[in-house]
A and B are shown apart, each in its own frame.
Chain A
């Protein structure tokens, strides 16, 4: 919202933290928090001011089932969704889970039985949060890859999906261009070294013309590593 005074913003932040906003107003504040640093600072200040009031709620011993439940969810969630400087997060890259790998193998097998010639590399790009497979990459040689959507994703009108790759030992990710949701794409790798096992691929949400700095800046929509097909 433009034209909002600092006073109005602070009152909104105060009532958000206090809890008196309606569901719709809360949703609006939560939507704005992602890209409104002034509102975020006002909310943070109110969180700090009122935090001690949580002492008024009597602590309650959780049931014996609660921690095992949390732990089971953790095990399903081995890839985190980082908010900042995700490219440098070792656990993220390490963390492609058994589930992701299983999806890779299952989908890889499905592809193998359906397509010819046999691809030499396969990648399944999965959503970082729920591991839902979104795209498959296959390469029948190391110089060109095909990106194949498994469904149609929603991309906001002012945003675009940008396709990136990084192999071990590269200093940073390299853009492979913008991707239209739901459309298959062939990408020549002629300016890059040949495909390597374990090479990372991902799609991030960027501005309509792609990342302005040549490095991923937006949230990861899908991510996966190349597996060499034997």
Chain B
């Protein structure tokens, strides 16, 4: 079972990876593997492909451990960023706008209850529901502008403007 994030020392494990200790990478895998796989699976919507991405992510984490700079953010956050961007690269490369599939799960706004950080929760709540949906569909489901436009039945230009303004509002709200 993963430990509480506050107890588990991600930075120390990364430093041990940089020293070549396989066991440290395994600790990170036990701690975050299921969550990273969940994030990747939600984005690419295919379990085998999601496992390929998590595999690649852990190799990247291993290789990047020595160059990890804590001044740029938390080690845990970096692991999620590495995984998400691999999944997003894959998604954008393979789709280059494949037709929208109705089978996609949808991040409904009521999922906000699952977000444990009060800060982003409060800031998202201040957005109009449709604009909030744009942000969640993009970040969590990996939808492109065009896919969000189809999903929300809203013109593409409107979706792009909503996203731009929502990001500005989030930055203002969160600092």
Are A54 and B80 in contact, CB atoms less than 8 angstroms apart?
yes
Q: Within the assembled complex, what's the spacing in Å between the Cα atoms of A66 and B83?
A: 15
Main secondary structure on chain A at its contact with chain B? helix
Q: Please state if A73 and B115 are interface contacts (CB–CB under 8 Å).
A: no
Known: A20-B163, A73-B59. A56 touches B115 (CB 8 A): yes
- Complex Cα gap A81–B64 (Å): 7
**Shortest Cβ distance from residue A65 to the other chain B in the assembled complex, whole angstroms:** 8
Which residue of B has the minimal Cβ distance to A42?
A: B171
Proximity bits, A42-54, B CB within 8 Å = 1, else 0: 0010011111111
User: Do A62 and B115 touch (CB < 8 A)?
Assistant: no
**A230 interface contact, C-beta 8 A:** no
Residue B145 at the chain A interface, CB threshold 8 Å: yes
Report whether A47 and B73 are in contact in the complex, using a CB–CB cutoff of 8 Å: yes
A80 to B25, alpha carbons, bound, how many Å? 14
* B20 engages A95 (CB within 8 Å): yes
Are B51 and A63 closer than 8 Å at their CB atoms?
yes
Cross-interface CB contact of B25 among A52, A54, A57, A70, cutoff 8 Å = A70
Contact with B along A62-77 (1 / 0, CB 8 A): 1100110111011001
**How distant is the Cα of A90 from the Cα of B51 in the complex, in angstroms?**
32
Size category of the A interface is 35 or more
* Bound Cα distance A51, B116 (Å): 11
**Chain B 132-158 near chain A by CB (<8 Å), digits 1 or 0:** 000110111011110010000000000
Q: Tell me if A23 counts as interface (CB < 8 A to partner B).
A: yes
The answer to whether A50 and B120 have CB atoms under 8 Å apart is yes
Give the segment of A8-16, A138-146, A155-163 that binds chain B. Answer: A8-16
Answer whether residue A113 sits at the interface, using C-beta atoms and an 8 A cutoff: no
B83 CB, min distance to chain A CBs, angstroms: 9
A188 beta carbon closer than 8 Å to chain B: no
Q: Which residues of B contact A56 (CB under 8 A)?
A: 42, 107, 111, 114-115, 136, 140
Q: Are B62 and A60 in contact (CB under 8 A)?
A: no
Residues 14-51 of A contacting B (Cβ, < 8 Å): 14-15, 17-23, 26, 30, 40, 44, 47-51
Query: What 10 A-B pairs are tightest by C-beta distance, nearest first?
Result: A83-B67, A23-B92, A52-B117, A57-B42, A82-B66, A59-B34, A14-B167, A91-B20, A59-B38, A57-B38
